[in-house]
Amino acid sequence: MKRWIASHFGLARPFRLERTLTVVFAMLLGAVLGSAAVWYRLKGELAVGTPLGWYFAYVAGLLALAVLCARWPRVAAVTLSIAALELGLGLGSAVLYRRDITANDLLLDDDSAMRRAWHPLLQAVVPPGTSWRLTDGEIRYNSLGLRGPERTAKELSGKTVVALFGGSTTADIAVPEGRSWGERLEQILGEDRYAVINHASELYSTVQIVLQTAFYQSAFGVQPDCAVYYVGGVDVQNSHIRNLDPAYADYFTPSLIDSLRARRIDASTAVSPLLQYASRLLVLAFDTVRPPVTPTGIAAPQPDADLTDIYRRNIRTISAINRQRGIAVVWIGEIVDVPRLGDEGGAEDWAPFVRREALWAAALRAECRLAPGGGSLGRPLYRHPPLGVHEKRLRRWRALCRRGVTQVCAHGGAEDR
């Protein structure tokens, strides 16, 4: 047995140096892999059954296979080469990401991101009947792909139907069932008299919301009596992009397909960094919908005049559609929680051309676009309470929103208010 092992490793006469080098190289890669695993474990990021855990198991398996195939140098060389590439791409991207040299870490546990289905107009939608588990509960979507319970036209008859539109803060993607603000709004208004249907989706700007309002506002065969829009924060991401497309089609809109994982060819969560790169190359070579080109622009503190015009046009379009249908409208401006973004001075990845110290002002400007001419847009703006406000003031703001939605929806949308 000892002689067989020695011969397998190339240490018995006749000496086979290629076998010995294979084992030595595998041990060196194993030492790097083991050190990285210990580091991730100490940081609490490595656990059994997670994508990161499977990555380490996968590379360790490749190294073990290379050692077992030492008698066949070419097979061992191919296996070791794949292991070295997987190790280099995975750990290399992690190091560069932590030093802010690259925007992607191929080892990030992205299993928390829910897959969407591709949509020709909205780019990405939640598949009907989807459920998603959170640490403290789950999120459920009905047969229309909308967050909330299944409804019927008979159930909605006799109730005032309120349609809710917005982005991730309206969809409340981190909040389990029963605690989203759409559900709480329905509870506050009275579940026996009101039905709030949440059309919101993560990363939806006013461009997607225009399309939703025009083509998908009715749900379960019922047109809403009132529409509530919580908007502004997502549109800010397009500030100061050079030659900004009116529908954000040069960057933001097509980026939704990858941001929300709506591609059919998607290996973004594969344990193999090499497979992730290969799938990306396939997309670039064969997929009709190509990933958008990285936008160009200059970060600036002053308002973006082009974005302001686009944003104003979108909200006026939404209001006009609702007015034509006789649906009352309530606008609530969204404010970015700037203090939670970290130190001031740099630009954010999600808003690359808005410097951090200007984000608050940019969000406020987006919000205030709703205020002028409130009578022509629908119900005058209910402004989001300033962050860090006293609980008493927050309760007052909630009461104001409740009273405003009740008044608008009770009177209907026959005329603007």
86 and 128 housed in the same domain: no
209 and 90 housed in the same domain: no
Q: Is residue 9 part of a domain?
A: yes
Helices (H) and strands (E) in the chain, counts: 14, 9
Answer yes or no: are the C-beta atoms of 199 and 216 closer than 8 Å.
yes
40 and 128 housed in the same domain: no
CATH number at residue 125: 3.40.50.1110
Q: Residues, the chain, total?
A: 417
217 and 141 housed in the same domain: yes
Q: Which of 223, 232, 201, 182 is nearest to 122 (CA)?
A: 201
Q: Is residue 78 part of a domain?
A: yes
Q: State the burial class of residue 245 (Cβ atoms within 10 Å of its Cβ: 0-12, 13-18, 19+).
A: middle
Residue 74 structural domain: 2-98
Residue type, 165: F
| In the block, residue with structure tokens 């792909």 | 145
Q: Is residue 210 part of a domain?
A: yes
Domain end, chosen from 42, 71, 98, is at 98
pLDDT tens for each residue of 61-75 = 999 999 999 888 889
Answer yes or no: are the C-beta atoms of 275 and 86 closer than 8 Å.
no
Q: Count of domains in the chain? A: 2
pLDDT tens for each residue of 240-264 = 899 999 999 989 999 999 888 888 7
205 and 354 housed in the same domain: yes
Q: What whole-number distance in Å separates Cα of residue 271 and Cα of residue 110?
A: 11
261 and 345 housed in the same domain: yes
> At 324, which helix (H) or strand (E)?
helix 305-325
154 and 248 housed in the same domain: yes
Q: Is residue 134 part of a domain?
A: yes
Two tokens, residue 106: 């191929």
In this predicted structure, what is the pLDDT of residue 365?
A: 54
pLDDT bracket for residue 398 (50, 70, 90): low
44 and 160 housed in the same domain: no
176 and 40 housed in the same domain: no
Residue-wise DSSP of 107-164: TS--TTSPP-EEETTTEEEPPTT-EEEETTEEEEB-TTS-BS----HHHHTTSEEEEE
Q: What whole-number distance in Å separates Cα of residue 339 and Cα of residue 360?
A: 9
211 and 303 housed in the same domain: yes
Q: Which of 59, 60, 79, 61 is nearest to 69 (CA)?
A: 79
Sign of the C-alpha dihedral computed for residues 355, 360, 363 and 369 taken in this order:
negative
272 and 358 housed in the same domain: yes
Q: Is residue 203 part of a domain?
A: yes
Q: State the burial class of residue 370 (Cβ atoms within 10 Å of its Cβ: 0-12, 13-18, 19+).
A: buried
Q: Is residue 398 part of a domain?
A: yes
Residue-wise DSSP of 189-232: H-TTTEEEEE---TT--HHHHHHHHHHS--BTTB--SEEEEEES
Rounded to an integer, the average pLDDT of 221-247 is 90
Q: Is residue 107 part of a domain?
A: no
pLDDT tens for each residue of 120-156 = 999 999 999 988 888 888 899 999 999 999 999 999 9
Q: What is the pTM of this model?
A: 0.77
61 and 128 housed in the same domain: no
Q: Is residue 111 part of a domain?
A: no
